[in-house]
């Protein structure tokens, strides 16, 4: 089997995990987390456009949550409590970085 670009083949994930949410700040390996989730077979959205829709969990942009299984980046953080209630059993991955290194990268 050729594994070149295998992470680009979106294979439905059969694990019982409802959703996976990356809740790290920008510049804390969110892109790497997204790639890792894709390699594991999750249909993933990096930096979903959620920040412009304060009521998105009440129906606005609902298709964004239904289309993919994993989401990462800073736009998830403000909604983590609501996401935890809406998708019980989901996993939340916090990515972090040394403060001095993080400040230098910004």
d(CA 9, CA 39): 9
Residue 91 confidence (pLDDT): 95
On whether residue 6 sits in a domain, the answer given is no
The count of domains in the chain is 1
Say if CB 25 and CB 93 are below 8 A apart.
no
Residue 49 confidence (pLDDT): 60
pTM to 2 decimal places: 0.73
On whether residue 9 sits in a domain, the answer given is no
On whether residue 14 sits in a domain, the answer given is no
Residue 64 confidence (pLDDT): 73
Containing domain of residue 33, as a range?
Answer: 23-105
On whether residue 18 sits in a domain, the answer given is no
On whether residue 17 sits in a domain, the answer given is no
Residue holding tokens 């996976």? 20
On whether residue 43 sits in a domain, the answer given is yes
Q: What percent of the chain has pLDDT over 90?
A: 42
């Amino acid at each position: 089997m050729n594994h070149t670009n295998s992470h680009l083949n979106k294979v439905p994930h059969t694990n019982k995990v409802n959703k996976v949410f990356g809740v790290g700040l920008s510049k804390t390996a969110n892109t790497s987390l997204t790639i890792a989730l894709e390699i594991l077979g999750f249909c993933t959205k990096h930096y979903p456009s959620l920040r412009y829709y304060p009521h998105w969990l009440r129906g606005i942009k609902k298709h964004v949550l239904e289309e993919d299984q994993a989401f990462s980046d800073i736009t998830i953080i403000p909604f983590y409590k609501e996401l935890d209630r809406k998708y019980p059993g989901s996993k939340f991955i916090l990515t972090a970085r040394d403060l001095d290194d993080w400040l230098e990268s910004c």
